[in-house]
Structure formats: C-alpha cells, structure tokens
Amino acid sequence: MENTDQMANEVQRHPEFYIPSGDMVIQVERTIFKIHSHFLTKQSEVFRDMVTAAPQTTRPNDGTDSKPLVLSGDSVEGWELFLSSIYRELFKPIIFTGKQSIEILRIAHKYCMQSAEDNLISRLKEETDTGRLLDLTVASRIVDSKELYDTALQGLIASGTKPTLEEAKMIGIEAYHVIVSQLPMMNGKCRNCHQAGNVRCLYCRTFQ
C-alpha cells in the first residue's frame, strides 16, 4: 500500500506527450509534458511573451527537465486534448465532444489563445441541440461573454425542456432559474413527457 501511495504522488512523464525532441517542459498536476515551444508560442500570447522575455538559459523554473514550468490550476485532461489537437491536426481532423471542447477552451482562454478560442466557440454555436446549448452556457462563463450566455439561454428556453439536476449543476443556479421561470406551461401538460399531470406527473414521475 505504501509503495502504491508513493507512486501515486510521484511526478510521471506523460506516455504520449513527453516528446524527447521537445524544448519546453511543463508540469500539470503530477504529470510532465515535454513539447515543442513553437506550437505554444504560435497559439498563445502568454507563452510567446514567456519564451521571448529572456534567454532560456537565464530563466528560473523556465521549462526544462530539471525545472519544469508548473501550470497551477490546469487539468491533465485539458492539456492532453489541447496537445492532441495541435499534434494531430495535420494528419486527420479530430471531433471533440462538448465536454472535451470545454476543457480545451479553459486552456485556450487562460493562455490567450484567441484563434483556438474563436474556433471552439464557433463549433459550439454550430449545433443547436440541448447538449451543445448547455455547453455553450458553460463556455459563456469561461470567456465572460454575456452575448453567448443570452444566446444559449434563449435556445434552452425555446427547446421547452426543463434541465435535469445534473444539468442545473452544470450551468449554475442562476441560469437554471431563468430557464425554468420562462418555460411555457404547455397547457397543463408535463414538460418532460407531454402527458397531462398534476403537481407530480404520473407518467414520468417528475415534479412540475
């Protein structure tokens, strides 16, 4: 048990994105990535300024094997997805789920990757199904866009579907309240199964 706990606390090289020919080493949580700084500086103003601010040999904690650049608050999953989009786009397009797009968006927005951010938002806006509208609501909070927030809520209200408990947690109580308060009563029918119900629908067993 002690050996297992020790291994869990050790910093590990990422099995795919520790690339020997890379020139920048970053640490996310307990995972080490070694990648090519060219890709980051091309995408991100933050990394571009970081790399060009001073010669690599004089920067403390500058992204080397002995002193990896520690990125606090980021997730390993987010960096895996982001790096997958960079290193594989030349070979084949990658289609991300809404949740995956959100994880990448967190990285893109934090490090001022405007092109990547615009592309992710554009993809989320292309789909109008309920799932993508929920993702767009989350995305609007990440990038702090009232326009996106209003667009997403209008779409969710127009769908006539009451968010589930998990969806409410996802979009936040304020958004949930706005949606529920503006949903049509649907002539006394259950909003979920469209059958006539009372306080609690006798068909799908949900409270209305």
Within this chain, do residues 17 and 88 fall inside the same structural domain, yes or no? Answer: yes
Determine, yes or no, domain membership for 36. Answer: yes
Task: Give residue 77's domain range.
Answer: 10-92
Question: In 2-17, which positions are buried (b, 16+ CB within 10 angstroms) versus exposed (e)?
Answer: eeeeeeeeeeeebeeb
Length of the chain in terms of residues written: 208
Distance CA 71, CA 50 (A): 13
Per-residue pLDDT of the chain (208 residues; tens, 9 = 90+): 444 444 456 899 999 999 999 999 999 999 999 999 998 998 899 998 888 775 555 555 568 888 999 999 999 999 999 999 888 755 556 788 889 999 999 999 999 999 999 999 998 988 888 999 999 999 999 999 999 999 999 999 988 888 999 999 999 999 999 998 887 644 455 555 555 544 444 445 454 4
Instruction: Report how many domains make up the chain.
Output: 2
Task: Output the CA torsion sign for 164, 167, 173, 175.
Answer: negative
Determine, yes or no, domain membership for 19. Answer: yes
CB proximity list for 117: less than 8 A, separation 6 or greater = 105, 108, 109, 143
Question: What CATH number corresponds to the domain at position 26?
Answer: 3.30.710
pTM equals: 0.78
